[in-house]
């Protein structure tokens, strides 16, 4: 565990350059490392032989970042990189960003919560530098900021991608959205309705049914058709609702059914009996199947050093750092104008597009990764569609 934190400090890489004499580019990375919680003032680890769960996301994200930087260093990348702990005591994000080291930083990457994301977005706007939010799946209420980039696609982005997929492959089926009452559930319904109004293709006929939380197979069957395929959408992000919906649908074998899950289903354990008898599809902007040579090699490296299997935070840290550090090196002075540039893909084919909330005035609010992968689960096994 101590190995994991040995290099969690300010560091620079790359005295050499891709081209002789190239100027080094400055990159800042923020992550919740909780170093003050993990270590005493004398440098002793506080938790003996244990590793508290709250340390995992930031630690794994950083490990991915470090591996990417090590790879870039070997290639002679002219980078100067600064890593900051968002949970550092007595040092806020604005204070860190005002440090002399970051006076001319050119890009920020962060694993941050909504409050931290808004802070970094405001600072990025003031400095006119791109800020890439690597893990937060929403816009943190940021508007009118062309320097803010949401990489973990928002719920609205998922619904738009899902709607297009349904138009392409399931438009002739019986489509039913089962939901319960709730603010998030209302947002899902609204996104489906609004995109249906604005789509350039033929809008879908989606039946939206509020079945509450204590529903039965018979209640579901009353809305389904035994003579054709039923495409059932889980209209809630709540895990219990999704599991209950799958469990009840699995008892309706005479109804041909494809179950559409929400982005949160990427974390589901599909080995449960209620999932194995169903055809399931869900969306995710990132898909790490651990089967490619690079993913396998990175996972093996992680397991040797840490002694456990890496989660998606590790792969996210690696690919976001690699992809956008290379963009920083490729771009000229105006890095922000290159955000939509394709190429330098690691695992994810980022599709970064502008988002206009006020479509009448066409005010650019931020950029968002619109790449959506659809994962099909059959018999408990996942594969890309």
183-229: pLDDT as tens digits = 999 999 999 999 999 999 999 999 999 999 999 999 999 999 999 99
Q: 134 to each of 78, 149, 238, 324, how far by Cα in Å?
A: 23, 9, 23, 11
**Bridge partners for 28 per DSSP:** 82, 108
Nearest of 80, 114, 83 to residue 96 by alpha carbon: 83
DSSP-H helix ranges across the chain: 2-5, 35-38, 56-74, 93-97, 114-127, 155-169, 183-198, 217-221, 239-249, 273-276, 293-306, 312-330
Residue 361 forms part of a structural domain: no
Q: How many domains does the chain have?
A: 2
SS3 call for 365: coil
Other C-beta atoms lying within 10 Å of the C-beta of residue 260: 23
Residue 362 forms part of a structural domain: no
| Residue-level pLDDT at 52 | 73
| Residue-level pLDDT at 38 | 63
Phi, psi of 168 (to 5 degrees): -75, -40
Residue 314 forms part of a structural domain: yes
Same domain, 148 and 165: no
Same domain, 63 and 203: no
CATH at 95: 3.40.50.2300
| Residue-level pLDDT at 9 | 36
Same domain, 6 and 131: yes
Same domain, 122 and 63: yes
Query: 138 lies in which domain range?
Result: 2-153+289-350
How confident is the prediction along the chain (385 residues), in pLDDT tens digits per residue? 333 443 343 333 333 335 555 688 999 999 998 877 766 666 676 666 666 777 888 999 999 999 999 999 998 999 999 999 999 888 889 998 988 888 899 999 999 999 999 999 999 999 999 999 999 999 999 999 999 999 999 999 999 999 999 999 999 999 999 999 999 999 999 999 999 999 999 999 999 999 999 999 999 999 999 999 999 999 999 999 999 999 999 999 999 999 999 999 998 888 888 888 899 999 999 999 888 899 999 999 888 888 888 999 999 999 999 999 999 998 877 788 888 888 888 999 999 999 998 777 778 999 999 999 999 999 888 999 8
| Residue-level pLDDT at 8 | 40
| Residue-level pLDDT at 21 | 56
């Amino acid at each position: 565990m101590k190995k994991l934190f040995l290099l969690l400090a300010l560091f620079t890489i790359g005295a050499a350059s891709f081209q002789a004499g190239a100027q080094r580019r400055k990159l800042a990375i923020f992550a919740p490392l909780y170093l003050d919680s993990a270590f005493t003032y004398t440098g002793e680890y506080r938790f003996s032989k244990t590793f508290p769960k709250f340390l995992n996301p930031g630690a794994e994200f950083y490990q991915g970042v470090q591996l990417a930087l090590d790879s870039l260093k070997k290639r002679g990348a002219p980078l100067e990189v600064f890593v900051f702990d968002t949970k550092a005591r007595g040092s806020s994000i604005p204070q860190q960003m005002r440090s002399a080291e970051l006076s001319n930083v050119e890009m920020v990457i962060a694993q941050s919560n909504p409050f931290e994301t808004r802070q970094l977005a405001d600072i990025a706007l003031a400095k006119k530098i791109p800020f890439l939010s690597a893990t937060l799946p929403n816009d943190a209420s940021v508007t009118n900021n062309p320097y803010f980039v949401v990489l973990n696609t928002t719920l609205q982005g998922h619904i738009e991608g899902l709607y297009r997929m349904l138009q392409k492959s399931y438009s002739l089926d019986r489509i039913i959205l089962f939901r319960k009452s709730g603010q998030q559930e209302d947002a899902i319904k609204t996104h489906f309705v609004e995109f249906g109004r604005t789509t350039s293709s033929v809008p879908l006929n989606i039946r939206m049914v509020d079945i509450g939380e204590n529903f039965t197979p018979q209640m579901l069957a009353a809305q389904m058709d035994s003579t054709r395929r039923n495409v059932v959408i889980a209209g809630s992000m709540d895990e219990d609702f999704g599991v209950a919906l799958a469990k009840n649908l699995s008892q309706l074998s005479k109804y041909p059914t494809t179950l559409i899950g929400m982005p949160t289903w990427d974390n589901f354990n599909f080995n449960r009996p209620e999932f194995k008898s169903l055809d399931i599809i869900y969306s995710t902007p990132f898909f790490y199947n651990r089967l490619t040579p690079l993913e396998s090699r990175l996972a093996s490296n992680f397991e040797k050093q840490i002694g456990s299997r890496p989660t998606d935070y590790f792969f996210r840290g690696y690919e976001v750092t690699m992809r956008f550090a290379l963009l920083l090196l490729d771009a000229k002075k105006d890095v922000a104008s290159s955000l939509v540039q394709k190429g330098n893909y690691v695992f994810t084919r980022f599709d970064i597009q502008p988002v206009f909330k006020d479509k009448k005035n066409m005010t650019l609010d931020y950029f968002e990764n619109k790449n959506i992968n659809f994962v099909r689960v059959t018999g408990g096994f996942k594969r890309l569609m």
